[in-house]
Amino acid sequence: MSAKVWLVGAGPGDPELLTLKAVRALREADVVLIDDLVNDAVLEHCPGARIIPVGKRGGCRSTPQAFIHRLMLRYARQGKCVVRLKGGDPCIFGRGGEEAQWLRERGIEVELVNGITAGLAGATQCDIPLTLRGVARGVTLVTAHTQDDSSLNWQALAQGGTTLVIYMGVAKLSEIREQLLAGAMAADTPVAMIENASLPHQRECRSNLMAMEEDACAFELKSPAILVIGAVAANAISSCGSEPAREEALSIDINVGSQRA
């Protein structure tokens, strides 16, 4: 039997943000290994599968990565269809790359399926466009959490002119503020902190670079949360397109569309 492991992104939480391909993989699954940021509601697509939680929170404090690797390998070698379901996207701070490589080195076929990463979903849920003409020419996704001694080039991040989306930053707010200020980012740079993005209990705290630690503390911001730092964090899409020129352009598009139809 062909051994295959799907490394699938479950998106940020809202089950409607799951891709059709993820749903297909779940329907085919015999075994599903889930991380703890995965919303259980998505498991309705695999009612017959064996579900194995391998997350690092909750009841199972820390499942060693080597154990997860061996579990996937064992089931795949038994000819089972294995889905490794991860929060957000499997390859954005999700170890999808490492797991795919480890399995392929052992002759296991791997298919990766994108999920909507929390940083994109969090911003969109708050009507924040991560790139915006004339305001932000790009977006940089970074994690504030490292397991080695490597450090980010904060100065480059502070001066890069892109929107910063920071994962795993709740416990590092003080360091993030200090480093970005030291890198000459303006103290009044807008910040949005989005907790439990896309879930019914989503909460959103707007602040700025100087005040974000105190504001997060008063707000009792908890993980999982995303930080969006940059001029766009002051915007909502609804307030961005209000100039007359844009409205005019939009009505021209609509007319052209209706003529074609």
Among 41, 51, 132, 168, binds ligand SAH (CB under 6 A): 168
Interface segment toward ligand SAH; rule CB under 6 A; list 66-74, 154-162, 222-230, 242-250: 222-230
Q: Which is nearer to ligand SAH, 80 or 93 (CB)?
A: 93
Question: What does residue 244 show for φ and ψ, rounded to 5 degrees?
Answer: -55, -40
Asked if 55 touches ligand SAH (CB under 6 A), the answer is no
User: What's the Cα-to-Cα distance from 114 to each of 22, 138, 194, rounded to whole Å?
Assistant: 8, 21, 22
Which of these is catalytic: 21, 30, 127, 168? 168
Q: Which is nearer to ligand SAH, 3 or 26 (CB)?
A: 26
Among 55, 122, 190, 230, binds ligand SAH (CB under 6 A): 122
* Cα–Cα distance measured from residue 224 to residue 183, given in angstroms and rounded to the nearest whole number: 26
Identify whether 35 is a catalytic site residue.
yes
Asked if 129 touches ligand SAH (CB under 6 A), the answer is no
Asked if 89 touches ligand SAH (CB under 6 A), the answer is yes
Q: Among 225, 259, 161, 248, which residue's Cα sits nearest to residue 12?
A: 225
User: What's the Cα-to-Cα distance from 141 to each of 7, 92, 161, 218, 247, rounded to whole Å?
Assistant: 21, 9, 13, 26, 32
CB 139 within 8 A of CB 113: no
Among 110, 139, 225, 233, binds ligand SAH (CB under 6 A): 225
Token pair, residue 20, equals: 């059709």
Q: Which residue is nearest to ligand SAH (CB)?
A: 88
SS3 51: strand
- Looking at the annotation, which residues are catalytic? 35, 56, 168
Which residues of this chain interact with ligand SAH, rule CB under 6 A?
Answer: 12-13, 37, 86-89, 92-94, 117-118, 122, 167-168, 194, 196-199, 223-226
